[in-house]
Structure 1
């Protein structure tokens, strides 16, 4: 009994030591979490950078105004808008733009991924698109229903037999 208690204590201290060591080797910040400060800064911006595209004429930037709920694809130094994109940092996916006399640096907005649960299908139902006659067989709920089902099966078999016995119909003259 005392040996098992000593072994249990030794095992517990070993596991606690391993857990403490593993804790120090973990990354301090999650690589999947937004950089500290950048998420808060992005929320306070009057405009959002929603896309960057390169075509034959150079880069185009999708700048969205969340207040007006409108967005525009613009080029570097393109006039005629409420803002002008001044610079683009390819490595960081950021742009600097002039908006109402202020210089704003916008980072490319990342999409929010929302996990949606799969709806459960009712028991005994067959998937959509599956032809009749396949899938789980339904059992009659009462003896009356069972007799009706058997009569339907007999009638189907009788009609199949008649169809196989009769010669093929002659084509109609037109």
Structure 2
């Protein structure tokens, strides 16, 4: 009897927790921090405006707005009601990221310009050359690589390798003899050494 009551209470508690979590998930989906609040659509910017709101910077009580003039291709950071230019920022709505500007006798509403992100088109890579070595790359000794070589091909390859080893050995010996000859001619005679010319 006690175990059936315990099971009943446990079942009710778990079902209540599930209903509570479902309600919390529904309210979470309704209030996303990345979307504007419900009921507020995007503010329509003034059509054909030559000015754009490019940035908003707030530091403490001071808020500045980057206003870009597309005809002059210049921008300026302005405060609210700051005089001294062709336009004056009259009001700011932080919930919509919009400002109202007086410009050339007209009142314009500008919304923060959103960045346009586009990926670059893919460039096809050139196909690598399979058997053509590039400039400066070492050439295979004995000719091109042969798959499944015959005994005659293998003999030619080994002879080419032996010839290349002998050629490099001769070059090394010639360089060593030349450096010894140059070192022997450039050595100064010591003062106590006999002079071979007899002087």
TM-score where L is the length of structure 1: 0.50
Rg larger in structure: 2
In the superposition, the TM-score normalised over structure 2's length comes to 0.44
